[in-house]
Amino acid sequence: MFNAKLLLVGPSESGKTVLANFLSDATEAIGGDYSPTQGVRILEFECPNVNAGGKNVGCEVELWDCSGDQKFETCWPALMKDSNGVIIVFNVEVPSHLKEIETFYSYFVQQQRLHDSQCLLIAHHKPSSATGRGRPGLGK
């Protein structure tokens, strides 16, 4: 069994907590009003069959659901310590998120010298929104 520390980062109100709850099978915060994450929320769960070097092994995952609020930026170095990968989430319906994800990518991937293979970018889209018809536009 090996351990994996994954950071879930991105702008505020991009859907990080919803994704974290889904990935970890957490149900404590399904539905209800928006409540921004303060600092970080750590979810722990196991993945029994992960392919690592051609072998199926178990993995204990620490999923760090990080606040998108810039007031927590001073905490970023501590969050990055010993991380194995980064998931960057943004809301395609918020134009400012496109610029903000560049900041998250620069800090959490480039400056930490992570490989692109250790980074996943997720474009979150709310199907119930007015722009929910067809494909969301990602700009130019």
Q: Kindly tell me if the per-residue pLDDT of 132 is higher than 70.
A: no
Integer Cα distance of 83 and 112 in angstroms: 10
Residue 31 confidence class, pLDDT cut points 50, 70, 90: low
Residue 50's Cβ-side half-sphere holds a number of Cα atoms within 13 Å equal to: 13
Note the pTM of the prediction, 2 decimals: 0.81
Q: Looking at residue 102, what DSSP letter applies?
A: H
Q: What is the pLDDT of residues 51-105, one digit of tens each?
A: 878 888 889 999 999 998 889 989 999 999 999 999 999 998 888 998 999 999 9
Written in H, E and C, the secondary structure of 117-140 is HHEEEEEECCCCCCCCCCCCCCCC
